[in-house]
């Protein structure tokens, strides 16, 4: 019932915000057209906004074609073309993946896995077993701290205790009173012993050589390495298929390119590898909706360095239904807005960041946040034009035609680059399907962002856990009720 109330409330907000942002401007533009204004200048201004975004996509896509990860390559250029390309890369200083072999052994490493139970009780055991069974261990060993919170005792806790007896490196930390991932992680930081710390969400399965790849960067003056997150349940439905390609584009192209161009990156909340000394100093703010982005900004403002390496792969689970997707993306949108308001001025005043890094973070914080609001204004312009003429007349403005072609082709180009650098060889129809649906998919995400903006401005900024599915949530709620009733009965009889 609570979920339905939240969903009903968001549906009302969606209607209200888009009536305000689309309906009202449509009437306003229509009245201006009746008054003799053609609004070409307004249309060109919005077209310029789209054109700039598209050019960024082209630059990022092209940059992402250059590899930049810490792996030795045994291949040596043989033909004239390869040797010429290698020469150009060296002159442009884009051979960052050719780091020397580590001269020092990988130190003791720690995994911090944050879990919110009972929401993630069905997946946490699988994640812990995957780490214990598959991850390669340095000479000094690893430890796995599972920091979790739960309002009630759960059967899975007994399974975890049995597993901890078999594996001394597994440490269970139930964080009483915790209400967020940040609080769980902060509690784990008080007992962690590794020199390198990898933070994982409860559904993330890291690659076996993750620490060895990350050490290549941490050994060379970087303080945080963000890996690449790949969707494991991509074949579940149409939504997960599109999220899978979106993540490939995000982690394989966009983040990789920005890191390459600005020598800076984002800690994305999971599959991130930290120097323990740095993370213990930064810690996480439980009051922020996106504690990972908040930590990223504070890390950079403190003079530490973050790099993105798309070869360090961890798989994760995408939201399996629209309900889960909606609330996850709304929290992300609110979190980015929260960080933007808090840190933008400090970014420009910082003496630790280069000019390119300041521009990069301004683009991420303000431009991307307000993109949804500005992009929506193309719809009132088109609707008012249709109302005025009764049809959509073809434009003879060459600039508008050019910007339209570039905008649509940028999505296609980005998809092609994503195909080229994807971590998994998805079926080709995934990419074709995403190219066809990307316009509608982007509109959907923009709609969610607008509702998130509305919530944030009205003070509705409570941290909400991403549900693993509506049916699963109902089952969990019934289990919680049964457990609570049972525990109440026991206390009563005592």
pLDDT digits (tens, 9 = 90+) for 82-118: 667 666 666 555 554 555 567 789 999 999 999 998 9
pLDDT digits (tens, 9 = 90+) for 287-308: 998 999 999 999 999 999 999 9
Least-confidence region, from 5-19, 197-211, 343-357: 5-19
Peptide bond just before 118 cis, omega within 30 deg: yes
Mean pLDDT of 13-23: 85
Question: What span, in angstroms and rounded, lies between the C-alpha atoms of 148 and 407?
Answer: 44
Mean pLDDT of 211-223: 91
Q: Which domains does the chain have, with CATH numbers?
A: 1-67+99-494 (3.90.550.10), 69-98 (no CATH)
Query: Tokens 């973070």 identify what position?
Result: 361
pLDDT digits (tens, 9 = 90+) for 352-392: 999 989 988 888 887 767 777 888 888 899 999 999 988 88
CB 285 within 8 A of CB 243: no
Q: How confident is the model at residue 9 (pLDDT cuts 50, 70, 90)?
A: confident
pLDDT number for residue 89? 64
CB 179 within 8 A of CB 293: no
Could you tell me the pTM of the whole model? Answer: 0.85
Give the residue with greater pLDDT, 424 vs 166.
Answer: 166
Question: What span, in angstroms and rounded, lies between the C-alpha atoms of 372 and 448?
Answer: 9
pLDDT digits (tens, 9 = 90+) for 30-69: 999 999 988 889 999 999 988 998 999 999 998 888 765 5
Tokens of 365: 């914080």
Percent of the chain surpassing pLDDT 90: 54
Closest to 302 measured CA to CA, from 339, 347, 335, 338: 347
* Cα→Cα distances 75→203, 311, 386, Å: 35, 17, 58
Mean pLDDT of 459-470: 62
Closest to 383 measured CA to CA, from 72, 44, 39: 39
Least-confidence region, from 72-81, 139-148, 150-159: 72-81
List of residues 6+ apart from 131 with CB closer than 8 A: 111, 113, 144, 200, 205, 206
DSSP 293-362: HHHHHHHHHTT--EEEEEEEEEEEPPPSSHHHHHHHHHHHHHHHHHHHHHHHHHHHH-SSS-HHHHHHHH
Question: What span, in angstroms and rounded, lies between the C-alpha atoms of 119 and 327?
Answer: 15
pLDDT digits (tens, 9 = 90+) for 411-432: 889 999 999 888 888 999 999 9
Q: How confident is the model at residue 248 (pLDDT cuts 50, 70, 90)?
A: very high
pLDDT number for residue 141? 95
Give the gyration radius of the chain's Cα atoms. 24
Per DSSP, what are the bridge partners of residue 314?
206, 229
* Cα→Cα distances 206→28, 70, 229, 278, 490, Å: 53, 17, 9, 22, 41
Question: What is the greatest pairwise CA distance in the chain?
Answer: 85
Q: Is the pLDDT reported for residue 487 higher than 60?
A: no
Tokens of 117: 């139970």
Mean pLDDT of 342-356: 92
Closest to 58 measured CA to CA, from 408, 437, 478, 321: 408
How buried is residue 168: exposed, middle or buried, by Cβ count under 10 Å (0-12/13-18/19+)? exposed
Closest to 330 measured CA to CA, from 371, 361, 290: 290
Question: What span, in angstroms and rounded, lies between the C-alpha atoms of 40 and 43?
Answer: 5
Mean pLDDT of 161-179: 95
């Amino acid at each position: 019932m609570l979920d339905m109330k939240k969903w009903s409330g968001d549906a009302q907000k969606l209607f209200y915000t888009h009536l305000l942002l689309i309906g009202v401007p449509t009437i306003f533009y229509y009245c201006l057209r009746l008054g003799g204004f053609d609004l070409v200048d307004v249309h060109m201004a919005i077209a310029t906004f789209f054109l700039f975004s598209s050019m960024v996509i082209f630059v990022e896509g092209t940059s992402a074609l250059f590899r930049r990860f810490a792996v030795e390559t045994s291949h040596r250029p043989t033909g004239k073309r390869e040797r010429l390309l290698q020469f150009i890369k060296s002159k442009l200083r884009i051979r960052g993946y050719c780091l020397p072999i580590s001269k020092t052994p990988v130190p003791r490493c720690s995994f911090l896995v944050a879990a919110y139970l009972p929401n993630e009780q069905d997946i946490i055991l699988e994640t812990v077993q995957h780490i214990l069974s598959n991850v390669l261990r340095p000479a000094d060993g690893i430890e796995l701290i599972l920091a979790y919170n739960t309002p009630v005792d759960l059967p899975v806790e007994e399974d975890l205790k049995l597993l901890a007896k078999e594996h001394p490196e597994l440490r269970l930390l139930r964080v009483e009173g915790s209400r967020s991932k940040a609080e769980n992680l902060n509690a784990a930081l008080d007992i962690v012993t590794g020199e390198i710390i990898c933070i994982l969400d409860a559904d993330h399965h890291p690659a076996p050589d993750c620490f060895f790849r990350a050490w290549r960067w941490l050994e060379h003056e970087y303080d945080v390495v963000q890996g690449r997150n790949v969707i494991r349940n991509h074949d579940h439905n149409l939504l997960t298929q599109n999220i899978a390609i979106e993540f490939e584009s995000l982690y394989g192209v966009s983040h990789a390119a920005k890191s390459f161009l600005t020598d800076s990156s984002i800690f994305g909340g999971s599959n991130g590898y930290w120097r323990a000394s740095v993370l213990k100093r930064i810690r996480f703010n439980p009051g922020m909706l996106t504690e990972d982005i908040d930590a990223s900004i504070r890390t950079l403002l403190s003079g530490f360095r973050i790099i993105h390496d798309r070869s360090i792969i961890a798989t994760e689970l995408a939201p399996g239904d629209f309900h889960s997707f909606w609330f996850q993306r709304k929290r992300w949108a609110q979190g980015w807005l929260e960080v933007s308001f808090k840190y933008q001025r400090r970014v420009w005043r910082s003496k630790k960041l280069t000019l390119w890094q300041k521009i990069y973070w301004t683009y991420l914080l303000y431009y991307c946040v307000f993109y949804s609001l500005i992009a929506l204004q193309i719809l009132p312009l088109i609707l008012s034009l249709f109302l005025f003429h009764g049809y959509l007349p073809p434009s003879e403005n060459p600039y508008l035609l050019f910007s339209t072609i570039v905008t649509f082709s940028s999505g296609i180009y980005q998809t092609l680059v994503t195909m080229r650098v994807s971590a998994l060889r998805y079926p080709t129809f995934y990419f074709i399907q995403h190219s066809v649906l990307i316009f509608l998919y982007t509109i959907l995400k923009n709609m969610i962002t607008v509702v998130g903006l509305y919530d944030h401005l009205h003070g509705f900024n409570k941290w909400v856990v991403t549900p693993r599915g509506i049916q699963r949530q109902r089952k969990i709620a019934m289990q919680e009720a049964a457990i609570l009733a049972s525990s109440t009965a026991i206390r009563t009889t005592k």
